Amino acid sequence: MYDPKPGDRLDSLDTPSMIVDLDIMEENIQKLMLLLKPLAVNIRPHSKTTKSPILAKKLIAAGAKGACVAKLSEAEVMAAEGIEDLLITCEIIGPAKVARLIELFRNHPAIQIVVDSEIGASAIDKALGESGIQEPIQVLIDLDVGLHRTGVAPELALALAQHISTLGHLKLMGVQGYEGHLQHVHGREAREKYCRASMAILVDTATLLRGNGFDIQVVTTGGTGTAEFCATTPGVTEVQPGSFIFMDSDYRNAVGGYFSHSLTILSTVVSKSASERRVTIDAGLKTLTTDSGFAEPKDMPDVTYTPMGDEQGWLVWKEDTPDIPIGARVEMIPSHIDPTVNLHDFYYAHRKGVIEEIWPVATRVLVTGLVVAYLP
């Protein structure tokens, strides 16, 4: 059985494989830091994109402040790999998850969490009280700034803050508002206009809470499509871009080409149709997600991709376009990077076609004692 290793060429990889061009990825990181560092906000990249402690550490080394994660399971893996400055950006609800949070916090007291309800806050406070842990956990109020997915309504934020102040094991230290519905708005002017309106809700709520005696130190927000606007909004202290490191076609179509595609899925042409201009590649629904449209072949502007089931997809090209033979290798640009990464076990990071590093997609796996459970 072939076992890829650093020093091998991409030509030797089986397909489909997830590959990362290190030169492009490093340029994306540098571009983000050059864009945001002069704006005096903290950069806390969202690791739901990479699902990798190795990449989180690379971003921290480049100037990031810690990392974000979407799920408790992601935080457990990141913390186990030495990343202590973590914000879990989604609510932790239910006895099983709260119990896991308590154990994580016991060993990693720098963890920050968000709450958007009295029920959720009280359950965590109760569990911490029963745990014997004396130090309060750092909490941000998750605010709905227009996405309507999670977050307390702005007019109810003060009441939630007042409730948190009655709980002895939670320490309110900030607010979070994610304008996810604006990340892919086409047109810079429109995206900025809508983002500024969401930021006004977030910053005004933080000001209201401060005016009522709450020490709001962190105002965190933003994604790849809006981070520049968020970071130039007075009162915002932190931004959470994630997809910039790899990029996908959906983000590129919305925000342009400032960041480049560093991640592709390497595939092979496995069959040729009776049609003169159609072949089948070994990359289907188990390899490339379709929630944001179909993937695109890299550097093939006249070729389109259509998934054809779990394991295969079609490439179709226009007349007067060079033929694609059986056995040809084709790099596919994902349409939505985060869930595509979640379909793969490893990144093969290369420079000029030579593999330098192999990174596991680590937060797909939760390790509990000696048991390894693969999470959905």
**Which CATH number fits the domain that encloses residue 40?**
3.20.20.10
3-state secondary structure of 115: strand
Domain of residue 308: give its range.
263-365
At which of 242, 274, 294 does a domain end?
242
pTM of the model: 0.95
Domain assignment present for residue 373? The answer is no
Domain assignment present for residue 253? The answer is no
Residues 287 and 337 in one domain: yes
Residues 102 and 72 in one domain: yes
Residues 189 and 335 in one domain: no
Domain assignment present for residue 255? The answer is no
**Which CATH number fits the domain that encloses residue 324?**
2.40.37.20
- Rounded distance between C-alpha atoms, residue 198 and residue 216, angstroms: 18
Residues 125 and 171 in one domain: yes
Domain assignment present for residue 371? The answer is no
Q: What number of residues does the chain have?
A: 376
Domain assignment present for residue 59? The answer is yes
At which of 207, 242, 277 does a domain end?
242
At which of 190, 213, 242 does a domain end?
242
- Rounded distance between C-alpha atoms, residue 250 and residue 295, angstroms: 9
Instruction: Report which DSSP code applies to 136.
Output: P
> In the numeric block, which tokens belong to residue 126?
């109760």
Domain assignment present for residue 74? The answer is yes
Residues 42 and 182 in one domain: yes
CA distances (Å), 356 to each of 9, 10, 199, in order?
A: 9, 10, 41
Residues 339 and 232 in one domain: no
Residues 165 and 268 in one domain: no
pLDDT values of the chain reduced to their tens digit, one per residue, 376 residues: 679 999 999 999 999 999 999 999 999 999 999 999 999 999 999 999 999 999 999 999 999 999 999 999 999 999 999 999 999 999 999 999 999 999 999 999 999 999 999 999 999 999 999 999 999 999 999 999 999 999 999 999 999 999 999 999 999 999 999 999 999 999 999 999 999 999 999 999 999 999 999 999 999 999 999 999 999 999 999 999 999 999 999 999 999 999 999 999 999 999 998 877 999 999 999 999 999 999 999 999 999 999 999 999 999 998 888 899 999 999 999 999 999 999 999 999 999 999 999 999 999 854 443 334 444 4
Residues 35 and 169 in one domain: yes
Residues 194 and 281 in one domain: no
Angle among Cα 75, 77, 78 to the nearest 5 degrees reads 65
Domain assignment present for residue 283? The answer is yes
Residues 138 and 276 in one domain: no
- Our measurement of the distance from residue 362's CA atom to the centroid of its chain's CA atoms, rounded to an integer in Å, reads 13
Nearest to 317 by CA among 306, 308, 331: 306
Residues 203 and 90 in one domain: yes
- Rounded distance between C-alpha atoms, residue 176 and residue 363, angstroms: 23
Residues 59 and 167 in one domain: yes
Number of domains in the chain: 2
